[in-house]
Structure 1
């Protein structure tokens, strides 16, 4: 277990979680917000993307009230990203997440998850900032992140390919 906050638990990804990831990332309702409906993940693709031993990203499963409901990952920004975003001599972490069980959407779990992960990164990884780059059209996600203390700092035009179109994103940050 990485951390627990009430009914929320975040643990490291395990081998048997590949089936959950394949289920969630083949659901069009989830893919609308994460990866795109034109980019479903079959089991082999899950293994290639999420179980690459060379990848230093910390990959985790979100558990709420004893049920696996989603995925979160965190990583230290590399030198190239730090230069691009202007974070030269700082310990900056990025996070990405999704709740794969739609029945758990709009219940405040995303807010609890993001605030808990930020606290973990500040306390355990000594992050000076935590950043994300959500797509600009995803108002629900942006509202959640702003509620968690993130601020928009840089508009990123045509930053991420999603469903065949490069989408505008926002670089948002939480500062210690």
Structure 2
């Protein structure tokens, strides 16, 4: 483990044993695509988009790796250009064998801590489709741990989606954060 990886690992308190945190690399794109595909509840993007994400948004994303370096979970996000104090969390996914260990919460906490060290981060946003109770719990508990409130509003209604029936995407705006 490099010194930079050790510093990054120290940011992620309560990581499940045997796992370490890293920034994603282009070679991780295929694994992130597979984890997203196998999740069963995420909108799957093209494999190409995961490769680009690992290249262009590695600084605002994180992966959890096994001892042999294999990604088993990820959080992808970006700083909103029009709201530079807001991190939009795009996707959170955990490999089926790793679920139930608090990994998604640890990744989310660690990622926002890392970003807050270089950006004035006051708000986290994400969208969740109605009925995705795992994501609702993850982000509601995140708000509680960070002393923040949660505002909800429909961001994209069913009619916005051109490719057939799609549940609405509800925007969760979490803030202000106390780190």
Greater per-residue helix proportion: 2
Unaligned segments of structure 1, at least 5 residues? 83-89
Moved over 6 A (4+): none
Sort the Cα spacing of 1:163 and 1:25 in 2 relative to 1 into closer, same or farther, 3 A: farther
Unaligned segments of structure 2, at least 5 residues? none
Please give the residue correspondences for 1:1-176 in structure 2 after superposition, counting only pairs within 5 Å: 1=5, 3-4=8-9, 5-6=12-13, 7=15, 9-27=20-38, 30=39, 32-35=40-43, 39=44, 45-47=46-48, 49-52=49-52, 56-58=56-58, 60-66=61-67, 67-79=70-82, 82=83, 91-149=85-143, 151-156=149-154, 158=157, 164-176=165-177
| 2:73–2:104 contact (8 Å) kept in structure 1 | no
| 1:151–1:174 contact (8 Å) kept in structure 2 | yes
Deviates most, 121-130 or 60-69: 60-69
Q: What TM-score do the two structures reach when normalised by structure 2?
A: 0.69
Say how many residue pairs are matched: 155
Q: What TM-score do the two structures reach when normalised by structure 1?
A: 0.70
Greater per-residue strand proportion: 1
Shift of 1:64: 4.5
